[in-house]
Structure 1
Amino acid sequence: MHLLSAQQISKSFGELVLFKDLSFSIHKNQKMALVAKNGSGKTTILNILAGRDTPDSGEIISRNGLRIAVLDQEPQLDAALTIEECILTGDMPILKVIANYEHALENTEDAEAYQKAFEAMERHNAWEFETTYKQLLYRLKLENTHQKVGTLSGGQKKRLALAQALLSHPDLLILDEPTNHLDLEMIEWLEQYFAQSDLTLFMVTHDRYFLERVCNEILELDEGQLFSYKGNYSYYLEKKEERIAVWETETGKAQQLFKKELDWMRRQPKARTTKSKSRIDDFHDIKSRAQQRRKDHVVQLELQMQRLGSKIIEFHNVSKRFKDAVILNNFSYVFKRGERIGVIGKNGTGKTTFLNMLAQLLTPDSGKVVLGDTVQLGYYTQTGIDIKPQEKVIDVIRAYGDYIPLAKGRQISAQQLLERFLFDRKKQYDFVEKLSGGERKRLYLCTVLIQNPNVLILDEPTNDLDVVTLNVLENFLMDFPGCLVVVSHDRYFMDKIVDHLLVFEGDGVVSDFPGNYSDYRAYDNSKAPEPDTAITKTTHTAEKQDKNEAAKLSYNEQKELKNLESKIRSLELDKKALEQRLYNTDLSAEDLTKYGLKLQELINDIEAKEMRWLELQEKMG
């Protein structure tokens, strides 16, 4: 069933053309995601679909009576209301039904009005509304319904806005970065809820596991054109590679044909027959196709890291609490060179507080945090860049100097550095306040790396970044030789770049887990108690077989086997990305050699890990 369609919509801001002549449709039960680079107008498209904005040209056509709900990146809620008041004053049809019934009860003389109100209550099952919304709030960890909205954390506000959206029973739910500010447990619950529901979804998200497990169609805005992929994120990556390969082949053929036709044109045919005129007309079309270029510029991350000594950061019996909330309790840890630590835990367990103490921005109640003499901290915070009125992009970088030092004694101008972070000369003179959320985060990342840190602290670095920039950031961090500490709800990101976790369990308890996030979830799920349900003989047999197989491997070998599987998957993704880069016909001979060597290193690494995986599998029997 058709719900809504965009027909030839365009949008510009001054001279900046965001998109032009875009057309697509949304049908019932679709779970569609829009993927595009930062600054392409993703949020603007969502606002146009929701009726909050209008296109410069084109139109939005929707089914009569279509109910749309929107979950914003940063929900705007009345701080003075309680959680319950926020629900009961929301824009939901069922609330009007309840209000009409209560009004009819007060005017019992009008029997007909009362009967209509009663039937409406039956039709909408409004009798159960209080039970329904309280159950939903309980699932979303918002049990204290009398708590004021103004006291809620960012994650709690996001969950409350989600509750409002779900309770409105929309025909179409529009989601703008739905996983931002949510902890990992809540993201997994939401992922499962959406995957199993019959809701129609249209979303923008950078969470690649969310795209993989929830979406059944990906809509990509690339080079001003829309491409539709009827599948999940893996399917999209595969088909996009095929599309670009076909495009490059066709462009190559067009370039060869263009050379041939150009030679014919230079001979200036005198005969103006119908056939020659047609060939001249075709020449201009061939020329246009031959001169096409993909703007596949990527962020170039580079820094001049200072040498890191043996002493980095040490926590000695550190304790910290805020009123009744215990964050750390006699916590001790010595950071080692080259460590790549992920910090996870539910919202409110103190992850950001821990990072602030690590960055020397917050002092412990007791104990001490000691920094080594050679440590140069780089701290990427959730709050992002400090926007000053009328400040231009170039001014932000020039505050650090007109020329910035790079590795091996080289230097680069502020303008050249910004170009490496995908801010062209024109964009460099835009006001920072006019940048999109993702562009601001990219600029902020530039200001952190420009200080050449050897210890990087990243608090939710993936929020608002597009998938292209995320891949570049991941590759940079995988090669980063310093010490890395990351808080992130992006499970794909965490799986790729960290090798062990500090798990904040609440009440000051912090566990050290050897492995990435997927390893931890598998371990955590294995500890869960068995449900009190009948278990079939087949299940018993499978469990017994698993135990017998696992018994043949030591604990460290079992852990190594799980790590190998995730590492091989990650390396395969890197190999695909590098192979795609080698398709670029504009690469210099030097780049071809460099990428070719890197590809061979990856292939050798994959083969070595696969051989070890086979050894462990054989040992299991």
Structure 2
Amino acid sequence: MATQQGLHLLGAEGLTITFGTRTVLDDITLGIDAGDRIGVVGRNGDGKSTLMRLLARKEDPDAGQVTWRGGTSVGFLDQSDVLLHEDSVRRAVVGDMAEHEWASDPKMRDIASGLLTGLDWERPVGELSGGQRRRVALAKLLMGDHDVLMLDEPTNHLDVEGVAWLADHLKRRWKSGEGAFLVVTHDRWFLDEVCTLTWEVHDAVVDAFDGGYAAYTLARAERDRAAAVEEQKRQQLVKKELAWLRRGAPARTTKPKFRIDAATALINDVPEHRDEVQLKKMATARLGKDVLDLEDVTLSVAEGEGESKTLFDEVTLRLGPGERVGVVGVNGAGKSSLLRLLDGRTEPEGGRLKRGKTVRTAILTQEVDELRERAGMRVHEVMTEDKTVFDVGGKEMSAGQLLETVGFARSRQWTPVGDLSGGERRRLQLLTLMTGEPNVLMLDEPTNDLDTDTLAAMEDLLDNWPGTLIVVSHDRYLLERVTDHQIALLGDGKIRALPGGVEQYLRIREGKEPAPPVDGRRYRGESSASATPAAPAAAPSPGSGAAGAAAAAASEAGSSGAGKASAAKSGASSSAQQRQAQKTMQRVERQMEKLSARRAELHDQMAAASESVDLEKLSGLQTELNGIEAELAEAEEAWLEASEIVEG
């Protein structure tokens, strides 16, 4: 059904609802017009899903009313399972339509290929996994012709590819100014990609903001800064998130809809989200040079009667100290199995796992099994089982303070573990793993059941964590935020480097780009020589002072690195190579100090320019800062390569 541009479709007036003694929504008045693309955010339990159910007329308010314009069709995706389990997938999705009827509709074909590829259409819904049933329910909803779509956590159980498909579908589903949707999700990339309005549900009210997640983050920071001192801790998390949005990969691709002067004024005093050199130095001290190496590993899993599927076919993966690796891949390609191999929980059929002497691993599983035996303990008791004071980013924090950083209020810290929500158990599970002082941390879909505020707090903790980090996730914002490079499992038994990150993975899956070749000898963090190279950074001009000298020193250290590779074949570096590497380290350290000093000067100059709102000067300073950052990264890599030679 086509809707006129800007036409009012539905609205709520004076909505109030109370659960027990707690008012979740209080006197809420709002509306949805044709053309609205609305994302709903807020902390778990603050009423996002309740608001959507009220607007969809799936629940009645205690006071107030919801009105729909006559003839308006509303489609609603609930979090609960609403499908008839005795129906086949075919009947659940297209009803009694003949195949030629739905298959001749381009929209229906696209939905089927985007969400249901690989599913047996004659299989009863009751025999599907929870994730598969969720896909079927989403496909059924999207097949319909609705004026308004209301989607409660639609990205749950979708992989990176599925999330990208859904975003593209929603952007193409209606013409500009027609139709409307309301989506509750913790996927921040998705919110920025598809939404032009954001509703924040908090403290029984709903605040509206123009733009997607990036614009909302800025606006909320401005509101909090001007509104109340008691919001200071929450504001600092928002400011740190802004620093990432301004400097990181998402800011280059999602075109945040906020003013550059306001953004710069807010973030010019925020430090980099993590000091990679310092973290790698700390990681090297804790871990040594060798961490985890999979060498020529083969692994298969049973699939049906007498059949098996090869997940890994003679793959080699080497992880060094302080590496931060994101893992993406098709469903069933072996992402979770890769973590179990690295953790030593699964034995390979061929090849071996080589483990450094000082390595201590911890893995965050999807099942939260670690807390089941502690169901009768209180949250605070779980955190203080082994110690009561923790070192977080060089600062001492009590168990109570650490719990507060991830959303456990003082009163909630004395709740029995068995009474926690899914998101709360997830937060506690991650904290207990990190405070157990592992030096290799593996996270399997860590964003499940977490709201955007909690995700920001979790990322803040991970920024200061100095060990090796491996993250499996469909949340591309998280991957780009906490990892430095990504690898792909494409279902062919190999591991491939992704110099172009998640975007490159999606292009490969869409057939727009060939998969990068596999380096059979090794894969170690950065893309191998045989992988598709990233675009080179602009070279500094000759005689460009500290920047040029650092680049020269980095080049010399790179040459020493080539010598190191040659020496590795014979078993060790020569004394001459070690002396040369030591000199290179000292030279690079001096240049890094000069570059760091210049970076600090640029930050001060940008702060002054932002006060005078000199956008032209800000732009020039930002360009120079980008060059300094690139040269610092190159020098840091040279220092690390030289340090490996010195250690022999």
Task: Place the TM-score, normalised by the shorter chain, in its bin.
Answer: 0.5 to 0.7
Matches within 5 A, 1:361-380: 361-380=345-364
Are positions 1:611 and 2:627 aligned together? yes
1:247 maps to which residue?
Answer: 227
State which of 23, 26, 35 in structure 1 corresponds to 2:41.
Answer: 35
Q: What's the offset of the Cα at 1:328?
A: 0.5
2:113 maps to which residue?
Answer: 138
2:337 maps to which residue?
Answer: 353
Note the alpha carbon deviations across 1:242-261, whole angstroms, 9 max, x for none: 4344436xx8xxxxxxxxxx
1:221 maps to which residue?
Answer: 201
Are positions 1:14 and 2:20 aligned together? yes
Residue identity opposite 2:483 in structure 1: V
Residue identity opposite 1:611 in structure 2: G
What is the CA–CA distance in structure 2 between the aligned matches of 1:475 and 1:385, rounded to whole Å?
A: 25
Q: Is the 8 A contact 2:422 2:449 kept in 1?
A: yes
State which of 283, 293, 298 in structure 2 corresponds to 1:314.
Answer: 293
Unpaired runs of at least 5, structure 1: 90-94, 100-125, 252-291, 530-554, 563-596, 616-621
Residue identity opposite 1:38 in structure 2: N
**Partner-residue secondary structure (3-state), 2:388:** strand
Of 15-24 and 480-489, deviating more is 15-24
Q: Is the 8 A contact 1:4 1:60 kept in 2?
A: yes
Unpaired runs of at least 5, structure 2: 1-6, 241-272, 515-531, 540-596, 605-620, 632-648
Q: In the superposition, relative to structure 1, how do residues 338 and 416 fare at CA in structure 2: closer, same or farther (>3 Å)?
A: closer
What is the CA–CA distance in structure 1 between the aligned matches of 2:215 and 2:486, rounded to whole Å?
A: 30
1:208 maps to which residue?
Answer: 188
Are positions 1:490 and 2:487 aligned together? no
Of 297-306 and 222-231, deviating more is 297-306
Q: In the superposition, relative to structure 1, how do residues 314 and 81 fare at CA in structure 2: closer, same or farther (>3 Å)?
A: farther
Of 180-189 and 429-438, deviating more is 429-438
Q: In the superposition, relative to structure 1, how do residues 440 and 169 fare at CA in structure 2: closer, same or farther (>3 Å)?
A: farther
What is the CA–CA distance in structure 1 between the aligned matches of 2:537 and 2:511, rounded to whole Å?
A: 17
What is the CA–CA distance in structure 2 between the aligned matches of 1:149 and 1:560, rounded to whole Å?
A: 52
Are positions 1:450 and 2:435 aligned together? yes
What is the CA–CA distance in structure 2 between the aligned matches of 1:179 and 1:49, rounded to whole Å?
A: 21
Residue identity opposite 1:43 in structure 2: S
Residue identity opposite 2:183 in structure 1: M
Of 508-517 and 386-395, deviating more is 386-395
* TM-score normalised per structure 1: 0.67
Residue identity opposite 1:610 in structure 2: N
State which of 169, 184, 191 in structure 1 corresponds to 2:160.
Answer: 184
Q: Is the 8 A contact 2:23 2:204 kept in 1?
A: no
Of 169-178 and 424-433, deviating more is 424-433
Residue identity opposite 2:310 in structure 1: V
State which of 326, 332, 338 in structure 2 corresponds to 1:342.
Answer: 326
Q: In the superposition, relative to structure 1, how do residues 202 and 458 fare at CA in structure 2: closer, same or farther (>3 Å)?
A: same
Q: Is the 8 A contact 2:444 2:473 kept in 1?
A: yes
Q: In the superposition, relative to structure 1, how do residues 130 and 526 fare at CA in structure 2: closer, same or farther (>3 Å)?
A: closer
**Partner-residue secondary structure (3-state), 1:179:** coil
1:173 maps to which residue?
Answer: 149
1:551 maps to which residue?
Answer: none
Q: In the superposition, relative to structure 1, how do residues 295 and 16 fare at CA in structure 2: closer, same or farther (>3 Å)?
A: farther
Q: In the superposition, relative to structure 1, how do residues 390 and 185 fare at CA in structure 2: closer, same or farther (>3 Å)?
A: closer
**Partner-residue secondary structure (3-state), 2:321:** coil
Q: What's the offset of the Cα at 1:37?
A: 2.0
**Partner-residue secondary structure (3-state), 2:183:** strand
Q: What's the offset of the Cα at 1:223?
A: 4.4
2:526 maps to which residue?
Answer: none
**Partner-residue secondary structure (3-state), 1:361:** coil
Percent identical: 32
Residue identity opposite 1:327 in structure 2: L
2:169 maps to which residue?
Answer: 193
Q: In the superposition, relative to structure 1, how do residues 556 and 321 fare at CA in structure 2: closer, same or farther (>3 Å)?
A: closer
Note the alpha carbon deviations across 1:346-397, whole angstroms, 9 max, x for none: 1121111211222223222322223333222221222236675994672574
2:535 maps to which residue?
Answer: 558
Of 458-467 and 15-24, deviating more is 15-24
1:160 maps to which residue?
Answer: 136
Q: Is the 8 A contact 2:94 2:102 kept in 1?
A: no
Matches within 5 A, 1:321-470: 321-322=300-301, 323=303, 324-384=308-368, 391=375, 394-395=378-379, 397-398=381-382, 401=385, 403-407=387-391, 414-432=399-417, 435-470=420-455
What is the RMSD of the two structures over their aligned residues, measured on CA atoms? 4.0
What is the CA–CA distance in structure 2 between the aligned matches of 1:468 and 1:227, rounded to whole Å?
A: 16
Q: Is the 8 A contact 1:83 1:149 kept in 2?
A: yes
Residue identity opposite 2:61 in structure 1: P
Q: What's the offset of the Cα at 1:79?
A: 4.8
What is the CA–CA distance in structure 2 between the aligned matches of 1:136 and 1:613, rounded to whole Å?
A: 43
State which of 499, 506, 526 in structure 1 corresponds to 2:491.
Answer: 506
Q: In the superposition, relative to structure 1, how do residues 42 and 236 fare at CA in structure 2: closer, same or farther (>3 Å)?
A: same
Residue identity opposite 1:438 in structure 2: G
2:573 maps to which residue?
Answer: none
Note the alpha carbon deviations across 1:87-145, whole angstroms, 9 max, x for none: 255xxxxx6xx79xxxxxxxxxxxxxxxxxxxxxxxxxx98246445553233243531
1:120 maps to which residue?
Answer: none
Q: Is the 8 A contact 1:394 1:414 kept in 2?
A: no
**Partner-residue secondary structure (3-state), 1:509:** coil
What is the CA–CA distance in structure 2 between the aligned matches of 1:613 and 1:489, rounded to whole Å?
A: 29
Residue identity opposite 1:348 in structure 2: G
Q: What's the offset of the Cα at 1:485?
A: 0.3
What is the CA–CA distance in structure 1 between the aligned matches of 2:15 and 2:351, rounded to whole Å?
A: 60
Note the alpha carbon deviations across 1:493-516, whole angstroms, 9 max, x for none: 212222222210112122123453
Residue identity opposite 2:365 in structure 1: T
Q: Is the 8 A contact 2:362 2:441 kept in 1?
A: yes
Q: In the superposition, relative to structure 1, how do residues 464 and 606 fare at CA in structure 2: closer, same or farther (>3 Å)?
A: farther
Of 358-367 and 312-321, deviating more is 358-367
**Number of residue-to-residue matches in the alignment:** 480
Residue identity opposite 1:192 in structure 2: D
1:532 maps to which residue?
Answer: none
Residue identity opposite 1:401 in structure 2: E
Q: Is the 8 A contact 1:208 1:233 kept in 2?
A: yes
What is the CA–CA distance in structure 1 between the aligned matches of 2:323 and 2:286, rounded to whole Å?
A: 15
What is the CA–CA distance in structure 2 between the aligned matches of 1:343 and 1:155, rounded to whole Å?
A: 20
Q: What's the offset of the Cα at 1:193?
A: 0.9
Matches within 5 A, 1:112-131: 128-129=101-102, 131=104
Q: Is the 8 A contact 2:390 2:397 kept in 1?
A: yes
What is the CA–CA distance in structure 1 between the aligned matches of 2:602 and 2:501, rounded to whole Å?
A: 20
Q: Is the 8 A contact 1:460 1:487 kept in 2?
A: yes
2:91 maps to which residue?
Answer: 85
